Every structure is written in C-alpha cells, then in structure tokens.
Amino acid sequence: MIIFPAIDIKDGKCVRLVRGDFNHITSYKSTPLEQAKIYYQSGFKYIHIVDLDGALKGKSFNSKSVKEIIKHIKIKIQVGGGIRTIEDVDNWLKSGVDKVIIGTAAVEDVGMLKTACVEFKGKIAVSLDVKDGFIYLSGWKRKTNILAEDFVKKIENLGVSRIIFTDINKDGTKKGPNIKDTIELSNKVKIPFIISGGISSIEDIKKIKSLNSSNIEGVIVGKSIYDGDIKINELAEQI
C-alpha cells in the first residue's frame, strides 16, 4: 500500500483545511519545498500535492512551488488543482510529475478525461470529492446532483489509473477516514482507490493496510502530520 503524505498549497504556503472550508484554514511554517524534503528524507517515495488556489480559480497558481520540489527532490509526485485542459495535463507531465489529478474537469467533461487517458496512458488520476454521496467541484464549493457511485461506473473503462476518494465530511477533522463508503465504492469498479480524509492516527493506517481489498491502492495523510498527531518516523515505518 502506498502512503502519500500531503502538501496543500495556498498563496505559496503549506496549509490545511477542515472539511474543505477556506474559512477554517491553518497555515504552517514549512515551505512546500521544506515539507517535501522532510518527506523525502523520511523515506517516502510519493507525495500528494494540491494547488488549492488552482482548484478554486480553475487554473494553476502554485506551479512554481511544485516545480521547485521537482527540481530539488527525486520523488514521485501526483498533483491536482486547477487542471482543466489537455494542455494543462501535458505541461505537468513534461515538468516531471508522476501522475496528474483531474477533478472538476473530469466530471464536467468526460470526453476530455477520455482523451487524456488515451494520450497519457497510466498517468491520469481522478479526484472525487464527495459529501453525503454527491460529488462536489471547484475546491468543494459547488455541489452537483451526480452520485459518486454513478460516476465511477461511467468512467470505469476509460483508462483512469487511480481514483482519489475524499469524504469532505471527514477531511481535516482527524476523526478517522470513511473506510466503509470507500470500500463499498471501490468494489463497484476495477479502478484502484486512494483513501483520503480524516486520518487521525497510526492505527488508522494499520487498519487500512489490513483491509482485504485488492482495490485499495493507498492512503493520503495530511493534517495529522502537520499537527503532530502522527509522527513522521512512525508513519515511515508503515511504508
């Protein structure tokens, strides 16, 4: 199982939200590059990065910070936030990221998602941000009437490399992930799933690792690292 320590970037700073609420935002002292170095030096092979300004505004705002990480650290990066076009995907892959995460654009334009999966085989991840079963878009600001269950079935055969499933009700709360709903959704398709939102302890990680689900590829850990609830060396032992 892959453990993805997270870096969420807003205005060039590492931040974390609670339930996607930009009115409940915490900034941290480490720069994105400094935080990435901590992860790399601790032995992690992957990082999950989200450009929160990009997610809100529909275009990349923090590419400079991400490219600094790419330049200085040899680590596999999956990046999302504000990626709306094939050109956006192409630019990120040329810059050296491992996978590109498409969220809002994937839901609004399945044709574009299909094209991306064909042109960049094995490099496209889809982010599903879900609250009470329904998908939310644009940095979790817009609710749709699309059920996550219906959407994953719709995209099952397009060639998506992984789905990042975030329960908005759990994200940033450190109250434990929504394992039940993630497992139920992942069992409906053959696309690998990444669990995101609510990780509170090493016990959560161990529980996910012990799941008898071949479709759970990994887990994203964010706020609990920054706040010290999960010690980075203890998390690294779970790699």
Q: Which residues are catalytic?
A: 8, 129
Output the furthest CA–CA distance in the chain (Å, rounded): 43
Alpha-carbon distance of 184 to 34, in angstroms, equals 37
Judge contact between 80 and 55, C-beta under 8 A. Answer: yes
Tell me the H-state helices in the chain: 32-41, 52-57, 63-72, 86-95, 104-108, 110-119, 148-154, 179-186, 202-209, 223-226, 232-236
CA proximity to 196, closest of 48, 82, 97? 48
The CA-CA-CA angle for residues 27, 230, 4, to 5°, reads 75
Which sign does the torsion angle of CA 210, 199, 177, 122 carry? Answer: negative
